[in-house]
Structure 1
Amino acid sequence: MQRKAYVPGLALLVALASGCSAASGSNGSSTDSKGGVTKGAPAPPGKYRTLPEPCHAVSKTVLKDMLPGAAGLADADAEKEYAGTADLTYDTDRRVGCRWKDETPDGVRRLMVDFERVVSYDPTVSDDDQTKELYGKKESAADLPAPQSSAPVTPPAGPRASASPGASTPPGASASPGSSAPPSTAGSASPSTAGSTSPSPSDGTGTDGLQPRRLSGLGDAAFLDDVSSPSGAGAGQGGGQRTVTVVFRTSNVIVTIEYTAQTMAPAPVPDSKELQEQAQALAGRLVEQFSE
């Protein structure tokens, strides 16, 4: 009787091949899991996956108010100014921006809008939590004054040092924009600042409600910063610059608006109230676009 040939290693190879096929998954598809990652549902992604086109996000009606000098230009030049200039970016799903510049004989106005979509690459940290952390750093960098309600302030015995905008105030009596001085010293002059140049009365450092502050009702969180500076040595001769910044967070997107007005002497430093109202109005329009 003829005997069949037997290969000793063949059975072992067949068994190994069968084991590898079974390990590929019960559904027949291969897995692509990351080694070392804890099993379980990953942190949820952010609400927004794309960003608006920034140069089209600001309506012409708003731009006409914020860039008044364009009204005196020829139609073609005005349209070019209203179109803005897009920031150079390499990933329009992650960050985009647009800038406008309005020049007149009296000065210059600049507007910047920036949209940033935050993505967390840590599977245990959600996009929203990553956005909160980044927003918190921006707010901390603005060095906003502590909320007035955080600590009671005892009124001084005599007339209030922080007089109304029309009253005479010693130079340096108000802290500079973004100062972290506690509320109890906000209206008092100190020897270390008595010789410094005082900002304009509506510089956002007094009690007129225009100080740098956190804003409510704008996205998930928002703040406003207001910084002014006189034009160098000519501080007493007029001229200067003011920049109002509004930053707000909505889910996993951070929006930044910077509105700057610069004047030439003898014009005074631009007024806080006007710039703040316009910047906040624009912020309100932009947050509505993310709510649609």
Structure 2
Amino acid sequence: MQRKAYVSGTAALLVALLAGCTAGSGDTGSTADTKPGDSAGSDAAAPGRYRTLYEPCGAVQRSTLRDLLPGAAELPEEQQEKVYKGTAAVTYDTDRRVGCSWKADAPDASHHLRIDVERVVSYDPEVSDDDRAQEVYARKQDAAQLPAPADPRDEKVQETRTPSGTPSPPSSGTAGTPAAPGATGTTGTSDTTGTANPTETTEGLEPRELDGLGDAAFLDDALTRAGSTAQHRTVSVVFRTSNVIVTVEYIEQPALATELPDSKELQEKAQALARNLAERFNE
């Protein structure tokens, strides 16, 4: 009788173990991003919100592409379709990184648009995907070398003091006369040549951090001249949402070397596209 009871208890234990294995075999979720040592009840950092990425060439609406690539509208319909289709970036894992680019030439200027989407995964069980993505994003922002935000206190002192440190006399309205206390400043070259320095962006359009776009975002603006060719302006908007980092790069090169790309217009268009892409992550 004792032997029978022992056998029955062993059989019950085997049934319980088999039931547990069967329950686990029905999990169809991907394990490719699982952190080492990650298991139920462990102290591993939480995974990122996103496990896949959308296809970027189809993520931009046709109306948006028409606005960003005005030269395409002048092409025959077959060539228009080719331009609007875009060129997918070559990547080894489309769940980790995808991209697309478009280019169109017009008589007055050429435009180039590029989108890069990267999903960051941390394989350190003590570092979350979001934290690792923030590290990657921070390196991108550091590489952009954004100017430090101006201190309002310094601006107030500069407006109310002359270089010698004495109070500024009232302005008489003539060129070269110091501004009256509290008066707003002017652009750096407007009191001499009346034209802006082509190597700098207009006040208020400098490279900077952006609010209300993903978890963190910044904008870079660079005007470049290569030899004797026309200057081209590159506006980049980079934002992070959870464990995904998106880069929008918009370039304009005028046909004439004497023309300067409009920084304000390019920045507005690049930011609008970036916000549309950010909204897709909430769908």
TM-score bin, normalised by smaller chain: 0.7 to 0.9
Corresponding residue of 1:10: none
Alpha-carbon separation, structure 1, partners of 2:191 and 2:77: 46
Deviations along 1:137-195, one digit per CA (max 9) or x if unpaired, are 10111111112247633224334996238824569x99xxxxxxxxxxxxxxxxxxxxx
TM-score, with structure 2 as normaliser: 0.74
1:148 maps onto 2:139 in alignment: no
Separation of aligned partners in 2, 1:56 and 1:86: 10
Say if 1:105 and 1:170 are closer, same or farther in 2 by CA, change over 3 A.
same
| Within-5 A mapping of 1:31-110 | 40-110=42-112
Alpha carbons 1:54, 1:96 under 8 Å: kept = yes
> Structure 2 vs 1, CA of residues 56 and 151 (structure 1 numbering), >3 Å: closer, same or farther?
farther
Assess, with a 3 A threshold, how the Cα gap between structure 1 residues 40 and 87 changes in structure 2: closer, same or farther: same
Q: What is the match of residue 6 of structure 1?
A: none
SS of alignment partner, residue 158 of structure 2: coil
**For 1:242 and 1:59, how far apart are their aligned partners in 2?**
23
Letter in 2 for 1:246: V
Report how far residue 199 of structure 1 moved: 1.9
Partner of 1:12: none
| CA deviation after TM superposition for structure 1 residue 40, in Å | 3.1
Distance 1:242 1:132 in 2: 27
Matches of 2:149 and 2:252 in 1, distance apart?
A: 27
Q: Give the total of aligned pairs.
A: 233
2:265 paired residue among 268, 274, 279: 274
TM-score, normalised by the number of residues in structure 1: 0.72
**Partner of 1:148: helix, strand, or coil?**
coil
How far, CA to CA, are the matches of 2:252 and 2:184 in structure 1?
Answer: 29
3-state SS of paired residue (1:222): strand
- Structure 1: 5+ residue stretches without partners: 1-21, 175-197
CA RMSD in angstroms comes to: 3.1
Distance in structure 2 (CA, Å) of the matches to 1:149 and 1:164: 18
Displacement of 1:274 in angstroms is: 0.6
Residue pairs, 1:1-292, within 5 angstroms = 27=17, 40-149=42-151, 152-153=154-155, 154-156=157-159, 157=162, 158-159=178-179, 163-164=186-187, 167-169=190-192, 198-199=197-198, 203-204=200-201, 206=202, 208-233=203-228, 239-292=230-283
Secondary structure at the counterpart of residue 152 of structure 1: helix
Measured after TM superposition, the shift of residue 209 of structure 1 is 1.2
Alignment gaps of 5+ in structure 2: 1-12, 22-34, 163-177
> Deviation per CA, 1:4-61, whole angstroms, max 9, x where unpaired?
xxxxxxxxxxxxxxxxxx9xxx94789xx968x9x93211000000001010011101
Percent identity for Structure 1 against Structure 2: 50
